[in-house]
Chains A and B, each alone.
Chain A
Amino acid sequence: MAHNQISPTSAQMGLSRDEELFALREMLLIRRFEEKAGQLYGMGVIAGFCHLYIGQEAVVVGVKMAAKEGDQFTTSYRDHGHMLAMGMDAKGVMAELAGRRSGYSKGKGGSMHMFSREKNFYGGHGIVGAPAPIGAGVAFANAYRENSCVSIAFFGEGAANQGQVYESFNMAALWRLPIVFIIENNRYAMGTAISRATAQTQCHRRGEAFSIPAKQIDGMDIRVVKAAASEAIDWCRSGKGPYLLEILTYRYRGHSMSDPAKYRSKEEVDRMREEHDPIEQVRLRLLADGVSEEELKKIDASVRKIVAEAVEFATADKEPEVKELFTDVLM
C-alpha cells in the first residue's frame, strides 16, 4: 500500500460531465445554504453556535460521490454540508437551525446535533473527536451484520489530537473495521493554526502507527477527493480494515459566527477563494467542456430556489410545542 501520496494520477481523476454537473449542483447547494444560514444568524433567526462549511464543500460532496447506498456518515458540529450531501431535506435542516418543530430534531438539537437514520447520517456531534469512535461503532455494526456497508467518519485536524481518535484507530485496525477516517484539515482549530497545536502536522502520518493505510490529498479539487475516497472506501468494503484520508481544505468563514478572524490574514483567505475555490474549479472545467454559462446559471437558480424555500419553510414553521420539553428523554 502506497502511503503519503499527494494525489491520485490524472487518469484516476477524471469525472464525466454528468458527474461534474452533479458535483457543481451539490456544492452550490451547500454554499448557498450556508450563505443564507449566515444571513439568518445575523437576523437573529438562528442563534447559538453556527459553524459554516463554506470553502470545504468538495470534501463531503466528493466523498459522497464515492460512497454507495447504505454507507453511513458521522461528523462533528460543522455538519450542515454533510447533511445536505447525504440527501437530507434542506427544509428540515434549516428549520432545525431556526429551532422550529419541523426541524430534523424537532428543534431540540440545533445546528450541531442533527441525525437521520433514514439517510444514514449518525450526527452531528458537539464533541469534536466523537465521530471517530461513534463512526467506528457504526462500522462495528456493519462488520457484525456482514452488510458490506462502509462507515465514514469526518473530523477536523484539531479534533485529530484527541485521545479517543487514536483509541479508535487502534481498535478499528485491530478488528479490521470497515471505516474511512477523514481528517478535514482546514488549517485552523478554531483560531489555532495547526503548527501551533500539532507536533506532527502531516496528519496522515498518524495512520502508520496503527498500520492504517493513509493519504494526504487536495480537498479543494473534487476530482481528487472522489478518486481518493473511492480507493479508500473500496479498501474498507473489501474487508481490509480502516483507511485514513487527510483532506487539505480551507474554510472561508470564521470558526463560528462570532469569530474575530484575528489569527489569519485577509490576503490568505482571498488567495484561497480566488485561486483554489472548489466550485469555481468545476465551473471553469464545465465551461471549457462546452457547457453554456446559461446552463450553469440555471443550476445556480435551482439551488437558490431550494434554499429560498427552505428559509420560507423554516421561518414560517412554529417553535416546538411546550410539551416537547419532556419528550424523547427516554424511550
Chain B
Amino acid sequence: MSINILMPALSPTMEEGKLSKWLKNEGDSVRAGDVVAEIETDKATMEVEAADDGVLAKILIPAGTEHVAVNAPIAIMVEEGGSLDDISAAPSSSELTKNTHSEEISTPHSIEPDAAPSSTRHPIDAPEIPAGTTMISMTMREALRDAMAEEMRRDSDVFIMGEEVAEYQGAYKVTQGLLQEFGAKRVVDTPITEYGFTGIGIGAAFAGLRPIIEFMTFNFSMQAIDHIVNSAAKTLYMSGGQINCPIVFRGPNGAAARVGAQHSQDFAAWYAQIPGLIVIAPSNARDAKGLLKAAIRNDNPVVFLENEILYGKSADVPAIEDFVLPIGRAYIARAGEHVTLISFSIGVIYALAAAGELAKEGIEAEVIDLRTLRPMDLPTIIQSVKKTGRCVAIEEGWPQCGISAELAMCIQEEAFDYLDAPILRVTGKNVPMPYAANLEKLALPSIEEIIHSAKAVLYRD
C-alpha cells in the first residue's frame, strides 16, 4: 500500500510554493517525524515531515521546482518491504504543478488581480508616470516593504514598531530585511500589547517622531482603538492645532482565509467614520507603494488597511525614485458607461472580475477603486454615476453603517436626479465569519452577486 506525501500549506492563504530541497533519497527508510524535504514561499520556509514510517519510494517533484500547488502529491511512500509496483498509477510531475484548487469564478481567493485587461487601466494620478518609465513587477508585500525602506532612508525620524516586525522578519514578511538595514533602534519588536505600544507610538509622534505601527492584523487593533480614536485622531483638534500626530497604523485588514470570526473581519467602516483620521485601503502593489509613502510623509494619523490575500499578488510598479501617490484620490480601474461598480481593497478585485464577465454580455462596467476611504473622492464617484446612472457598491465589511451605505447616501445627496435605478450593495453578510469553507464563501461578497446586482440595476436578467 502506498501513501502520497502532499505539498503542505504554510498559511491559510498559501496556494503554491517552491520545493527547495529533498533531504531523503528514493529508497531511504523514513520514520514518522523525519524531515524529508524543505519547501518555501515568499513568506517563509518550512520542513516537510513524514507522517508514517516507511520507504521513500518515489520523488514526484524534483528539488528546485517552483509553483507546486498546495496538496499536490510530491512523493510516494510505501510500507517497509513494499513494492514500487504499487505506485504505477502515480501522476506525472507536470500535471502536479498545476493548481489543483477548483477555479470556480466565485472562489474569491483564486482570482487574479489583473482580471481586467491592462489597456483599460489609464493612469489618472498625479504625479503622472512619465512615458518610458520602467515598470517593475512586484508583490504587494514587496511594494510595502520598499515603501517603508525608502522612507526610512529618507527620514531618520521614521521607525517601525510592532509584533514580530524585526527578528521574525514580519508575521506576513512585510518587514523582511528592515532589521538588517536599519537596526533594532528603528525596527522595534514589541510584546503582545497593542493598547500599550499604540499609545507609545502616539506619544512618540506627539514628540515629533514618525512611527509606523504594524498591527499583525487589524483584528488586534481593537485592543488599541481607544488610542487610535481618542489620542491619535483627536489631539490636533483638542490642542487647537498645536499637537499633530504623524503616525501610520498598518497591517492586514479584512477577511483572511479559514481563520474564523475573530481573525477575519473588515474594519474599514469603523475607522472611516472618525474625524482626524485618514484611511487608505489599496488594492494593488502600485497603489500600496505610492500611498504608503504618502501616508508616512503625511502629518496626520493614517490608518493603512492592507489585505493578507493580496500580499502575494503582483502588479507593475513604476521604478521612479520617489513614487508617491496623492491621498484622497480614487482611481478608475476600468472605464465603462453602463454601470458604476465602486469598491476598495480586495473588493476591487471582485469588481474587476465581475466587469470582465459583464463585458462578455455587452455590459461595460466602470470600476472605481476608492483607494482612500477618508477623505473620500466624491467628485470621481459622482462624475461616474452621473455618466452611468447606475451604481453597485461592493465591500467585504458588514452592510449596516458600512462604506456602501455611506456611498449610497452621498450619491443620492449629490446625484439623485441622475440615477436610473436604486443603488445596490454587495457586502459581507450580517454574521460573524464562519470557519467552514462553504459557509465562509457564502459570508463573503461573490462575483456572481456583483454580476447579479449590476444586471439588476440595469433591469436585465
- Interface residues, chain A, with chain B CB atoms under 8 Å away: 72, 74, 103-109, 113-117, 122-127, 130, 132-142, 144, 151, 163-164, 166-168, 170-171, 174-175, 327-331
Contacts and interface: CB of A to CB of B under 8 A. Distances in A.
A134 B245 CA distance: 12
Scoring B193, B202, B208 by chain A CB atoms within 10 A of each residue's CB, the highest score goes to B193
Given A72-B207, A141-B207, A331-B299, A168 B242 contact: no
Contacts of A144: 159, 185, 204, 209
Contacts of A108: 237-238, 240
B203 A133 contact: yes
Interface string B181-223: 0000100101101011111111111111100000000000000
Contacts of B227: 130, 133, 164
A242 to B, nearest CB: 12
A317 B15 CA distance: 66
28 contacts: A72-B207, A104-B240, A105-B242, A107-B240, A109-B237, A115-B238, A117-B243, A122-B207, A123-B238, A130-B230, A133-B203, A134-B206, A136-B196, A137-B199, A137-B206, A137-B207, A138-B203, A138-B204, A141-B207, A144-B185, A144-B209, A163-B196, A166-B196, A170-B196, A171-B191, A171-B200, A328-B239, A330-B278
Given A117-B242, A170-B191, A331-B300, A130 B199 contact: yes
B322 interface: no
Nearest to B194: A167
A47 B197 CA distance: 34
Contacts of B110: none
Given A117-B242, A127-B226, A329 B237 contact: yes
Contacts of B209: 140-141, 144
Interface of B: 159, 185, 188, 190-191, 193, 195-209, 226-227, 230-231, 235-244, 275-276, 278, 299-300
B241 A174 contact: no
B210 to A, nearest CB: 10
Contacts of A174: 191
Nearest to A330: B300
B193 A167 contact: yes
A113 B191 CA distance: 30
A109 B200 contact: no
Given A130-B199, A134-B199, A328 B207 contact: no
Contacts of B276: 329-330
Contacts of B206: 122, 134, 137-138
A105 B203 contact: no
Nearest to B233: A329
Contacts of B201: 137
A106 B185 CA distance: 37
Contacts of A115: 235, 238-239, 242-243
B232 to A, nearest CB: 10
Nearest to A163: B195
Given A144-B159, A330-B278, A105 B239 contact: yes
A182 to B, nearest CB: 16
A103 B242 CA distance: 12
A72 B204 CA distance: 12
Contacts of A106: 240-241
Given A329-B276, A331-B300, A171 B190 contact: yes
Contacts of A113: 235, 238-239
A78 B196 CA distance: 22
A329 B191 CA distance: 32
Contact of B200 (A140, A142, A329): A140
A144 to B, nearest CB: 6
B204 A141 contact: yes
A186 to B, nearest CB: 23
A245 B33 CA distance: 54
Contacts of B200: 133-134, 136-137, 140, 168, 171
A285 to B, nearest CB: 38
B156 to A, nearest CB: 9
A171 B193 contact: yes
Contacts of B188: 175
